[in-house]
Amino acid sequence: MSESQKTLLVTGGAGFIGSNFINFTQQRYPDYRILLLDALTYAGNLDNISPELRSSERFEFFHGNITHPDIVNKLVAEADIVVHFAAESHVTRSIYDNAIFFETDVIGTQVVANAVVNHPVELFVHISSSEVYGTALEDPMDEEHPLNPMSPYAAAKAGADRLIYSYMKTYDLPAVIIRPFNNYGPCQHLEKAIPNFIISALQNQPLTLHGNGESSRDWMYVEDTCEGLDRVIHADRDRIKGQTLNLGTGRDTSVVEIAQRILRIMKKPESLLQFIEDRPGQVTRHISSTQKSLQCLGWKSKIDLDEGLARTIEFYQNNPKWWERVLWMKELWGPRA
């Protein structure tokens, strides 16, 4: 098949990063065929996919769960490349309801990986998470940093991460493991810190921060992540197969400074900041090394924090119908970085 006619299977592509990746890919490669498999849990929404793509014959949606081998095997057999986003992804919720995290993130990943073993593809891109590292022991955190997950969510992601590593060694799975740091941008669920802060500010409600707000993260605008994943998919296969790659900016910013920047951009008073009890499973600091992704992909993030925040604020200001439907969930578990 020609390079202009690839078929991509994207699991979990109706969620935040997955949908942004699908829209990015369709705009850059309009002849690609995209198969989307998603269970449409609370964080998945087909409205995240551009209307133009949803109406295209190059796009097909399949409503299903990655833990079901029949549908997974069928779709993997049709794909040239599999990009595996599907996962449960909320730290606080995982503390109180953790079974679904291990079922989806570990068992679901095993099902997808088994399908790739049985129906070989050119490349399997596994989307892991920087949460697998736990709090930074080194500055910056490179791909050799110990895995010290600090919540059931992070442990489930670490389990899936290591499962794919084992399949690369055992079955020669043509895979690459991607560990994105803290993404933000359009279509992110209100349970996450940045959209939660933005909606609170829009409604002139308190922006609640856990502890003293000094925990820091490497915040990256989702378009940069999509660009990084595009480089992964189109890199020389021998250069990236078997690799683990961070995608981050190499800069960290505290949660309280993020809230302050949002208030400043939106011209809201800092009196809206409200500090609440810290939560368990909290990571103190994350900051990504960018050296390996630059060497392997020729990629580095381009969108600075203020520009990314301004773009994100604009999305939520202009799309109240998108977020009003899930407003009731905004305070269910509290904002998570």
Strand ranges for 181-254 from DSSP E = 182-184, 207-210, 216-217, 219-221, 244-247, 253-254
Closest CA to 291 of 243, 221, 236, 241: 243
- What's the length of the chain? 337
Higher pLDDT, 210 or 222: 222
Tokens for 102?
Answer: 């291990």
d(CA 298, CA 296): 6
Domains of the chain: 3-181+221-247 (3.40.50.720)
Strand partners, 169: none
Amino acid at the residue 174: P
Q: Which residues 6+ apart lie within 8 Å of 6 measured at CB?
A: 29, 32, 33, 80, 81
Residue % of the chain over a pLDDT of 70: 93
Q: Sorting pLDDT into bands at 50, 70 and 90, what band is 326?
A: confident
Calculate the average pLDDT of the chain.
Answer: 93
Q: Which residues 6+ apart lie within 8 Å of 50 measured at CB?
A: 23, 26
Q: Sorting pLDDT into bands at 50, 70 and 90, what band is 100?
A: confident
pLDDT of residue 146: 97
Tokens for 161?
Answer: 């991460």
Higher pLDDT, 309 or 330: 309
> What count of other Cβ atoms lies within 10 Å of the Cβ of residue 57?
6
Average pLDDT over residues 195-206: 97
Helix (H) or strand (E) holding 237: helix 237-240
Express each pLDDT in 218-257 by its tens digit: 999 999 999 999 999 999 999 999 999 999 999 999 999 9
Residue % of the chain over a pLDDT of 90: 83
pLDDT beyond 50 at 94: no
Q: Is 108:164 a contact under the CB 8 Å cutoff?
A: no
DSSP 242: T
Closest CA to 49 of 81, 10, 90, 82: 10
Higher pLDDT, 150 or 98: 150
pLDDT beyond 70 at 333: no
pLDDT of residue 332: 56
pLDDT beyond 70 at 93: no
Tokens for 53?
Answer: 């793509």
Helix (H) or strand (E) holding 62: strand 59-63
Q: Is 24:223 a contact under the CB 8 Å cutoff?
A: yes
Express each pLDDT in 248-262 by its tens digit: 999 999 999 999 999
Largest Cα–Cα distance of the chain, in whole Å? 58
pTM score, two decimals? 0.94
Express each pLDDT in 266-297 by its tens digit: 999 999 999 998 777 678 999 999 999 999 99
